[in-house]
Structure 1
Amino acid sequence: MKSSAKNLGSKFFSLVWTGVRRNYDNLDDNIAKHLGETEPDSPVEIHLSRMFSQVFKRHTREEADRLFIVGTKTTTPSLRKVSSRPVTPWFFTRVFLLLAISFVMLMALLFVFKSNKVIPGIIFIGSLAVPFSLLMMFFEINVYQNISVRQTMVIFLVGGILSLIVTMTFYLILPIRTEVSIESALIVGIVEELAKCVVIILFINTYKANYIFNGVLIGAAIGAGFSVFESSGYVSEYGLATIFTRSFQAIGTHAIWAAIIGGAVILGKTRKKQFTVKDFFTKPKFYVFFLIVICLHTFWDWDIPNTGIGVSLLQEFIDIIVGWFLIFIMIDAGLREVKTLQGQQIIIHRSKQKKLVNKR
């Protein structure tokens, strides 16, 4: 009896999961087609199981080292050699594991050996673990391999701090009220996402980034930096216990939101030209994603009246799901972009060959 009930339950779960997966694949594929320029019959498949298939496999040190030898004149591959296959990041989990172990060791020093001197380290590592691991994932996903580790760290540190400076400047102009309300949450969402957006645009224009994966990486670096420094500040204000909630919440907040904005900036600008103020207001491929991110931030910060912790957790869960869905759309669109650009090169090359043949 128990075995039959168990089999029935597993079949039901399998049926539900299959339906969810198919609907996700169809929706993701349809949206990405509108963002890209590929033919409607050339899908780029993105599946969670396939994307993270390399996480639990063994990898050599040489494989890890090769991930970081990118972004220079001699190590940036040509467009023809850029892979358009589904991305399979894995090293970011090792980064998270290293930081998590470091955090546990510091906590042991605090509680076992009563060493208060490790508290700054706990705050820093705890704030860093999830956002920096996500940044490493987006670094791996950048199939163009045209942004180096040094550039990424500069964007992470300088961009993160600069976005906080811009945020505080905006707060001086638009001071928020202390009470918790949908209006206050909306103002916070607008101010913080606009501040990050300004800095993202600055770095994208400075680095002359032209690819979706570049924009996503630059955005993720700025968002991760913002998250690390903001979380550290919250700990000093609300206590050490805050580091636990902030760390786990980081999986679906600033780094993800900024990565979406970064990809949207690339989608909204003309290729090989800078993103302009006109693009900000006239390109739906940009401002639709930007407005969605503001809504996600607002929904995250909004404490719905007369509700408990259960509703708050549900809000966060929905926010994370939607945010990651948009990330997968960006990845899908990015892979389509690779195929499109490589296809354009082939067409141009063939047309030149035909012209040469005709001349002969």
Structure 2
Amino acid sequence: MIAAIALPRILRIGGGALGETASVLEQLGLSRPLIITDPTMVAIGLAERLQGLLGGAAVFSDTVPEPDSDAVDRARRAVLEGDYDSLIGLGGGSPIDTAKAVAVLARQGGRMRDHKAPAQNSGPALPVIGIPTTAGTGSEATRFTVVTDSETQEKMLCIGQSFLPVAAIVDYELTLSKPPRLTADTGVDALTHAIEAYVSRRANPFSDGFALGAMRAIAAHLRRAYRDGQDRAAREAMMLGATQAGIAFSNSSVALVHGMSRPIGAHFHVPHGLSNAMLLPAVTAYSAPAAERRYAECARAMGLAQDGQDDRFAVAALLDELRALNSDLAVPGPRAWGIDPARWNTLLPLMAQQAIASGSPANNPRVPDAEAIQVLYREVWGS
């Protein structure tokens, strides 16, 4: 099998990397960026700090968590009204995904629903520089963006080279102030990326190396970062692991956890990493019999089993760890999160249909039908 590999042209990784933003723009021949960020980045002064590093740059901060097509359209209008040659996505996955979506629409027109999977977009787009402030989505290094259709409430996966940032600036110091809940949710999101990239039917030797490296880093440091946000070594390892996981799944794929997670986020506004965490133990248990060796290698990378121990033992250790991790990180289930049970049950058929339509479940080692997905949703509700 020939693997098609895509990476940002430039990566700057390490503490203080934010300070190299201007030189990265200069290296790319860009000089008129629009910073796309969120109100929090403005309130804490990080957007202003970046403006100062760039000698002044316009800021658009009217983004929303879990971006929808209305928010993307607002950002597109701001881009079209100015004379910008590039976009800087500053923040968590939501501002970066918004920047990536706008980069395509500003050059190609149309609506986000025109670009949802299984479409593959390789057309023109504004250059995007991704600067993550959470250790989670890996969006700064992926050829994906996720946007909810404001009319249908479908969380759309959009794929293609057009959505790949030209540069990523990965500075772990930007995560030191993040609270425990956000640290946990984004951290499990990154772990899910790594595991799913490794067990995906689209996995390849290139993505495997990044996925295993990400699992090693995240497993050893997520609890530490959760308990002590100022643990610089843990924060640095988590940031690197998140970017490695993003590179892994961008060049492999995500699978059933993500396919089922997106409808939960769209219909109930559960943060993406949290909905992944809700699903990860149950979906892994469902999927593992179809790829026992692969899941066993995940356990070994995470330090849960030794090379001499058999695969069945290793998989059992992985399942125990995923449940323990959710407990240690105080991950609530859908019921504890406050989702209305009647609405949950009513929406199960639609959520299962939307999960399958995203394409991600087809990459899973064990490919489910809609009924199997509904069974898993019911199991997660009761957990």
Q: Which structure's residues are more often strand, by fraction?
A: 2
Task: Decide which structure has the larger Cα Rg and report it.
Answer: 1
Structure (1/2) with the larger helix percentage? 1
Q: TM-score, normalised by structure 1?
A: 0.27
